Structure 1
Amino acid sequence: MQSTMLIAVCSLLIYAVVVSGQDEEFQCPERTGFYPDPYQCDLYYSCTQGKAETKLCPDGLVFSDKSSNHEHCDIPLNVECGDRTELQEPKPTKGCPRANGFYRHSDPEVCDKFYNCIDGVANEMPCPPGLIYDDMKCAWPAESKRKCENSKRDLLADGFSCPNGETVGPNGRALPHPTFPHPEDCRKFYICRNGVDPQYGSCVEGEVYNEETFKCDEPESVPGCENYYEGKEIGKKSKKN
């Protein structure tokens, strides 16, 4: 997995707004095509037979000038605006600073989710496990300028959530998917996928979880769990001391 992951963007059918009829100031470079405004990134011109019609991308999107043969508005992450720094007045709604685009969650403590705004409707989306939303993209916390130590984490039904920070294994290296003991059952344990996504785990029959090695082990090797299978049916046999 790359250290920084960009948000996958679904294809959207974009309808531009006609700002005016024929623009008398803009000079079409070619008789036919779509051309950016030199100052405003979400403003562009449709040229037909040498006559320019002014158009405006939906709020939150900007005009992509990669090809004059295509009329395409996209999120700012995918477009290099350069000197075209001006934008139309925003049309904010609840959760959406602009009508379209990706934005931080309204709860500042929720760093691993974001809003995908489409026509002013905020759709809550998750980042991949282990990543946080860092303005237009999901990124690893260490590579983000955003501080999210208090980010809310998912809870399992019994209240377990993955702890903050790295978990170092027996070899002294951080574990990518650390495991943790169950407080009441020697055979059960928890798995934290990518360090943040909690799941239940269980050892195979006859073994118990060893929190020293982060693996399942023989009961005799785990203090406090030596007699876990005493009197319990293991396959067709009952284990005795």
Structure 2
Amino acid sequence: MRPTGILSITTTVIVALFFGIYVHSQTCPESYGRYVVPDQCDAYIECIEGIPERKLCPEGLLFNEKASPFSYPCQYPIDVDCTGRPRTQPALPTEQCPHQFGYFKVGDRSHCGQFMNCDNGVGFVLDCPLGLAFNSATYQCDWPDLVEDCDADAYLGFKCPPQAEGLIAPIRFFRAPDNCQKYFICVDDRPRVNFCGPDYAFNELINACDGVENVTGCAI
């Protein structure tokens, strides 16, 4: 015989627990506002006239409880603190994008200058300014030696020459061997590339861009 009494009690407890959690998560602390869902970073409760409505951010975006009341509350992960709210909805990747929304690096460690802006699952490839690399930690184009997943030497095609023992300089300058208007700055023995403007070339005697007429062996 099925223990209907025990089953009934168990069901009642489960329903009561669920209902209690549900009501608690839907409570409006104030008549108007947006509030976190305790364990989920891409969901939130919006209260209008004291009536709560649970909402879900577009996949790839997260709820920022510090967002202005007049701004869209779903923002990029670098702008949101998810401490204590680790759960998110499952990823919805497409052929182009790992998430529906976000910015993502394109290429490997030796090809760091491109990134993709994913908007509703459609990817748009963008280029950093020449010589800079996309930094996934900041969503900005940065010096490649400051980007953790970029090999600056391979990306720029230049390796800083070794320094003489006992003569350690934190910053050194080198004219590019194939372009006198281009030069490398070695910062702690890792390269960055720069370019002189029109009619200027890099003068190794002064470690700066100079009029091309003042630079030996340079013809533009």
TM-score by length of 2: 0.62
Question: Of 145, 148, 151, which aligns to 1:145?
Answer: 148
Corresponding residue for 1:190? 181
Corresponding residue for 1:111? 112
1:180 aligns with 2:176: yes
Give the gaps of 5 or more residues in structure 2. Answer: 1-21, 164-168, 186-191
| Residues 189 and 218 of structure 1: CA distance in aligned 2, closer, same or farther (over 3 Å) | closer
Three-state SS of the structure 1 residue aligned to 2:78 is helix
| Residues 116 and 136 of structure 1: CA distance in aligned 2, closer, same or farther (over 3 Å) | farther
Q: In 2, are the aligned partners of 1:35 and 1:68 still within 8 Å (CA)?
A: no
Q: In 1, are the aligned partners of 2:107 and 2:114 still within 8 Å (CA)?
A: no
Corresponding residue for 1:28? 28
Written as runs of structure 1 = structure 2, the 5 A alignment for 1:122-161 is 122-128=123-129, 130-137=131-138, 138=140, 139-149=142-152, 151-153=154-156
Q: For 1:185-213, what per-residue CA distance to the aligned partner results, in whole angstroms no more than 9, with x for missing partners?
A: xxx82314773356786569xxxx86566
**Highest RCO, 1 vs 2 (Cα 8 Å, sep ≥ 6):** 1
Q: In 2, are the aligned partners of 1:113 and 1:133 still within 8 Å (CA)?
A: yes
TM-score by length of 1: 0.58
Deviation at 1:113, TM superposition (A): 2.0
Three-state SS of the structure 1 residue aligned to 2:40 is coil
Give the gaps of 5 or more residues in structure 1. Answer: 1-22, 154-161, 183-187, 230-241
Corresponding residue for 1:163? 158
Q: Indicate the percent of aligned positions where both proteins have the same amino acid.
A: 28
* Greater fraction of residues in helix: 2
Corresponding residue for 2:10? none
Deviation at 1:33, TM superposition (A): 1.5
Q: In 1, are the aligned partners of 2:109 and 2:149 still within 8 Å (CA)?
A: no
User: How many correspondences in the alignment?
Assistant: 182
CA distance in 2, matches of 1:45, 1:164: 53
Structure 1 runs of 4+ aligned residues shifted over 6 Å read 215-219
Q: For 1:91-131, what per-residue CA distance to the aligned partner results, in whole angstroms no more than 9, with x for missing partners?
A: 11233210111112144532122212111122222345554
Q: In 2, are the aligned partners of 1:189 and 1:202 still within 8 Å (CA)?
A: no
